Structure 1
């Protein structure tokens, strides 16, 4: 054992799991811990403009690094961050949320303090946050070693956020802590259950005539992807994806058959997936927007589902399994295909630029696709941007980030900041609408202060396009105030290297994309679009959403 302090121990544990940045907002209850961050080696604090943005940024960081860390202060800070924490829970993103709390003696004796309800209740914040986390705890000098280790292991195992309150008066108290780094390895499988599951999977493969793999986001969260990639290549196994699992496996591969979305699937995909005599899944979670309004139909008797700690085969459950161990053995034992699958998909032809044509969703996204290159990080805001990009096959190695289930607008600007903090070597492209941008716009200042260089494509279409197509096409509640967006980088930082661009025509956008193809500086590219223009997918989604949300007697767009 070694002697250390409460705060230093927590920071050592964060470093053990790969965190080098803690993103958050200072507050009096966390300043003692912040002093320890400032004094520590190998980890630093990155201040965000507010706690919600910090939570979104920690989410983006986690999607790139594997886990992220958020720092807030009691009550006002925790609750401001709660929407972002809930989003991480919804999207299965591991996040360590830390909050400075009132002094331990004040909580024990129910003192009435600021940032509380002045009623002496110090359980309400943990009760509220516990609904959206895998674990919510307050530590003391006597339990901090056990509780922090339990929280971090839970976060990494369950791929959910956890929340840790640190009373402000204990951060510098001495404790005895283990010498060794935190062991985050998963428990090993029950040997008999693992062997039985592997044999059952191989038996199903042996008789299957048309097996297909269906990918969703848990494949990425639980680090299944390298094994699945090896399996599909070795067995020449065709695969599809939910919209919430976009680009986890290569969309350029001849084995990729398109996106499954129930009755709204890519042509031919629904029939093939639902007729497959063996369907492998990765814990898919169907909501209305990735299931064709619940028109999906997967036959349980033909399904093998890989969960994170279990596997089910045609309704038979195998518990006590570390699925990574199972997948690793499957890579070795699954039969190799005798021949490669030919690519039936026609290659996209380069878009012929119409120099003076106004930008339109019908053609702009295809023009954008030619700019995206292998291994980029593409961050797509919920709504117009994601719907515009979703049908397009991403280049090999692209990491695609969006809030496909939680769907919080404004998420992506802080998320691109967090993702690039976690990996400065990858080019980051953000696609965000003007309405979404205005929700979290101030985080552009942190992007500039941190000398990050994302290329931000801002769709200026005068408001909430996705909402217009649901209801209120021409109503003022879907409008937003037009800003001088191109001026904002220099407003936030006069000597910034980020440059601003503006395009109204295909020719202007082509020139900008040509200039940015080899740029190392950040960019804000304002794309001017008609307020009533939209991707075809959005035009179809709007009326379906109105039907679902408002019922047969509810309001509809007049046109």
Structure 2
């Protein structure tokens, strides 16, 4: 069939499940935006800048499975690059689309705006290509092939891909395949012999094990393993733990849940269960300093069976050519049903009793919010105080937990909230963000309000960068930020907003605010005032450890 390049691209995005393209207009992409306006099933959501757009697409993809970003050449692409790199680090599939200069100008090496004015049109593509699984400038000759290739690559590799669309080609027609895009075709089916060999070996080792355990990381979520792993654990009575970068992927309130494994900083009993397991099933964990107890993790390599997306590693031997989702189905069918070691029932949280006049503290704050969450909530935690404080709270079944555990770019979560809620409007979204992080991307609150979203935003006001204070400069001015009138911002950004602002300095004020928020369907902006030097216990340990690692024995802490 003949179809315009722009319409073909949008059709493929729609068939992959995308209903919003998020980004910033620019002269090289306005032609595509006109085509979006005319396209049934996809709309454009503009953000305040390209970095925020990339963060929003990351959040969208975590809730929808794939997201689409729109920028313009050069200034837009590079402004979004931090967010694209974060999606690459966190294994989030994203289609980054950039309007590019017209093809004739590119081939003629014109000196143009948004370029180095040197006729070089390879540098932007090469820059973004360092952080994507595919990066291509399409032409009428390759558009159909390359668009499909990019989409399949993003879905298969769980990484961003980048497509430059010259501004003079999107309305040209091409001959394109009539068959709809099939996301399932992104993963090849298993080689039958390799699948059977892997299943047989996994079951042989599992059935011989006396101390089996399961350790999940973020790839269990990205590749869709979670439900099948939960079912495997329950059928076989296998205890499981998580890295903090894999929080809440499996049910944290199930009796089989051990807790969070963090090397020497693990909760009691968790380290022994994981490091002394004689069969340890993992999902390709990536152990950085923040989720390994400062590189103190010691996984038993000789007992480890690792599930990647397209391979299984068994005691150091790789079985390739396998769709692990198929392998999990066969394992679920054949695995022995057994109770395993009798797990302790999940502990019921102690009743919360507010000391109404007591000032808010980190030690009391996070356990209170642990009781606020409901099943199927989306909880978004900014790197630093919020993520560390929530890390010790067991979340209800079905909660989706979004954070940037590896990339850790502060300010990520407010735009990610926008994207996630656009992708899953039916779920209650709760964001926890510090004042310093909020100030980096605060303007995206205006887009959240413009889109009539109604999240609960909890802003932790400790007048600066508490995580940095605990690393270095506890009372240094460089860790301070201006103390904004945060509660006034919803009406600044949208005077007719229905979002309600609350402020709490004491436990009694917090209880009143939470009661009002729970009884309302309107959005909420809750500002919490805490002492700048107060921090969760985990952060108090993490800060000095980070300083020792970063600065060494002659560093400023040891003057």
Q: What's the TM-score, normalizing by structure 1?
A: 0.99
User: For 1:487-512, what per-residue CA distance to the aligned partner results, in whole angstroms no more than 9, with x for missing partners?
Assistant: 00000000001010000000000011
Partner Cα separation in structure 1 for residue 277 and residue 341 of structure 2: 20
Indicate the residue corresponding to 1:355 in structure 2: 356
Indicate the residue corresponding to 2:21 in structure 1: 22
Deviation for aligned residue 1:438? 0.2
Indicate the residue corresponding to 1:39 in structure 2: 38
Indicate the residue corresponding to 2:83 in structure 1: 84
Indicate the residue corresponding to 2:538 in structure 1: 537
Deviation for aligned residue 1:396? 1.1
* C-alpha contact (below 8 Å) 2:254/2:346 kept by paired residues: no
Secondary structure of 1:54 counterpart: helix
User: For 1:330-354, what per-residue CA distance to the aligned partner results, in whole angstroms no more than 9, with x for missing partners?
Assistant: 1111111157844344321112110
Instruction: State yes or no: 1:61 paired with 2:60.
Output: yes
Partner Cα separation in structure 1 for residue 552 and residue 370 of structure 2: 37
Deviation for aligned residue 1:285? 0.4
Superposition map of 1:338-377 within 5 A: 338=339, 341-377=342-378
Partner Cα separation in structure 1 for residue 37 and residue 131 of structure 2: 30
Deviation for aligned residue 1:300? 1.4
Range moving further from structure 2, 336-345 or 210-219: 336-345
Q: What's the TM-score, normalizing by structure 2?
A: 0.99
Indicate the residue corresponding to 1:467 in structure 2: 468
* C-alpha contact (below 8 Å) 1:56/1:84 kept by paired residues: yes
User: For 1:305-342, what per-residue CA distance to the aligned partner results, in whole angstroms no more than 9, with x for missing partners?
Assistant: 00101001111110111111101111111111157844
* C-alpha contact (below 8 Å) 1:213/1:239 kept by paired residues: yes
Instruction: State yes or no: 1:138 paired with 2:137.
Output: yes
User: For 1:418-476, what per-residue CA distance to the aligned partner results, in whole angstroms no more than 9, with x for missing partners?
Assistant: 00000000000000000000000000000000000110000010000000000010000
Q: Which runs of 5+ in 1 are unaligned?
A: none
Indicate the residue corresponding to 1:318 in structure 2: 319
Instruction: State yes or no: 1:11 paired with 2:17.
Output: no
Partner Cα separation in structure 2 for residue 198 and residue 13 of structure 1: 35
User: For 1:174-204, what per-residue CA distance to the aligned partner results, in whole angstroms no more than 9, with x for missing partners?
Assistant: 1111111112222111111110000000101
Partner Cα separation in structure 1 for residue 426 and residue 342 of structure 2: 34
Superposition map of 1:103-502 within 5 A: 103-185=102-184, 186-338=187-339, 341-502=342-503
Range moving further from structure 2, 265-274 or 164-173: 265-274
Deviation for aligned residue 1:244? 0.1
* C-alpha contact (below 8 Å) 2:59/2:416 kept by paired residues: yes
Secondary structure of 2:28 counterpart: helix
Partner Cα separation in structure 1 for residue 299 and residue 204 of structure 2: 20
Secondary structure of 1:321 counterpart: coil
Partner Cα separation in structure 1 for residue 345 and residue 139 of structure 2: 61
Indicate the residue corresponding to 2:528 in structure 1: 527
Q: Which runs of 5+ in 2 are unaligned?
A: none
Partner Cα separation in structure 2 for residue 228 and residue 372 of structure 1: 24
Partner Cα separation in structure 1 for residue 473 and residue 339 of structure 2: 56
Q: 1:317 to 1:95 in 2, by over 3 A?
A: same
Indicate the residue corresponding to 1:510 in structure 2: 511
* C-alpha contact (below 8 Å) 2:238/2:340 kept by paired residues: no
* C-alpha contact (below 8 Å) 2:60/2:416 kept by paired residues: yes
Indicate the residue corresponding to 1:549 in structure 2: 550
Secondary structure of 2:183 counterpart: coil
* C-alpha contact (below 8 Å) 1:253/1:343 kept by paired residues: no
Range moving further from structure 2, 284-293 or 330-339: 330-339
Secondary structure of 1:116 counterpart: coil
Q: 1:557 to 1:12 in 2, by over 3 A?
A: farther
Deviation for aligned residue 1:51? 0.1
Superposition map of 1:92-103 within 5 A: 92-103=91-102
* C-alpha contact (below 8 Å) 2:277/2:300 kept by paired residues: no
User: For 1:36-95, what per-residue CA distance to the aligned partner results, in whole angstroms no more than 9, with x for missing partners?
Assistant: 000000000000000000000000000000000000000000000000000000000000
Secondary structure of 1:28 counterpart: coil
User: For 1:358-381, what per-residue CA distance to the aligned partner results, in whole angstroms no more than 9, with x for missing partners?
Assistant: 000010111111111111000000
Deviation for aligned residue 1:387? 0.5
Partner Cα separation in structure 2 for residue 365 and residue 274 of structure 1: 29
Secondary structure of 1:409 counterpart: coil
Deviation for aligned residue 1:382? 0.2
User: For 1:374-429, what per-residue CA distance to the aligned partner results, in whole angstroms no more than 9, with x for missing partners?
Assistant: 11000000000000000110111110000000000000000000000000000000
* C-alpha contact (below 8 Å) 1:350/1:370 kept by paired residues: no
Secondary structure of 1:457 counterpart: strand
User: For 1:285-313, what per-residue CA distance to the aligned partner results, in whole angstroms no more than 9, with x for missing partners?
Assistant: 00000000100111211010001010011
